[in-house]
Amino acid sequence: MIRLVVGLGNPGKEYERTRHNAGFWLVERFAQANGMVLRKDPKFKALVGKNAAGAWFLLPQSFMNLSGQPVQMLAGFFKIKPEEVLVVHDELDFAPGVARIKQGGGIAGHNGLRDISQRLGSHEYWRLRVGVGKPPVGTEGGDYVLHKPSTEERALIDEAIDRSLQVLPEMLKGDMQGAIHKLHSGEPKTVEKKEAPVKEPEIQPEPPKATEPKKSGLLGSLFGKK
């Protein structure tokens, strides 16, 4: 059972539409759809809400690299174990339109996950990873996530969030495998573009070499020999 859902992002108007706030977007959409109010709680340094079933929802209002403190404080206060926590965050390794669920694993350089893992003393919380795409060559990941996605990318991210919201009730009830199967199998087939296999170039036979026409007569006797 999931007792705490954490959406990761950065507070402030200048960040609200950036890729790094994908976790905020999902929790905000859930709250709006379910009539749940997210109130600022100075004690937890976060926006906090609670749904009808008793699960807590939290948006840290510290910056991304300090996300773990509000999570640690609320989880500790209500005695919530790491495996009862779901963290929703942006994922550079997935294209826009992809969303995946997993438990534990590495943090892949994500500052929010790093701080949460350190504060909870565990990697065993659940993650809902919302794809935002890889940065272009020559662009740092940290800079890329602090920019807005294109209109087309945002539409795909919103579709992935919609599919994630459909399985969130199952996750809250503890049916993690059911949620994983439903979310992953429902992913559009065209989202992840696989690289086409490299086709070996066909070896074309070399064209016959042009032969110098044979000289005859007087010209042949004059220029035919070197």
User: What CATH number is attached to the domain comprising 21?
Assistant: 3.40.50.1470
C-alpha distances in angstroms, 120 versus 40, 45, 88, 124? Answer: 22, 16, 16, 9
Residues 157-184: tens digit of each pLDDT: 999 999 999 999 999 999 999 999 999 9
| Mean pLDDT of the residues in the chain | 88
Active site residue 20: yes
Return all residues near 40 (Cβ < 8 A) that are at least 6 apart: 46, 47, 48, 61
Question: Which domain does 9 fall in, by range?
Answer: 4-185
- 214 within domain boundaries: no
pTM score of the predicted model: 0.82
Active-site residue (options: 20, 110, 181, 184): 20
Average pLDDT over residues 7-20: 96
How would you class 175 by CB atoms within 10 Å of its CB: exposed for 0-12, middle for 13-18, buried for 19 or more?
middle
- 22 within domain boundaries: yes
Task: List the single range of 30-39, 100-109, 213-222 with lowest mean pLDDT.
Answer: 213-222
Residues 61-74: tens digit of each pLDDT: 999 999 999 999 99
At position 77, the amino acid (one-letter code) is F
Q: How many domains does the chain have?
A: 1
Alpha-carbon distance of 70 to 174, in angstroms, equals 23
Confidence of residue 109 (pLDDT cuts 50, 70, 90): confident
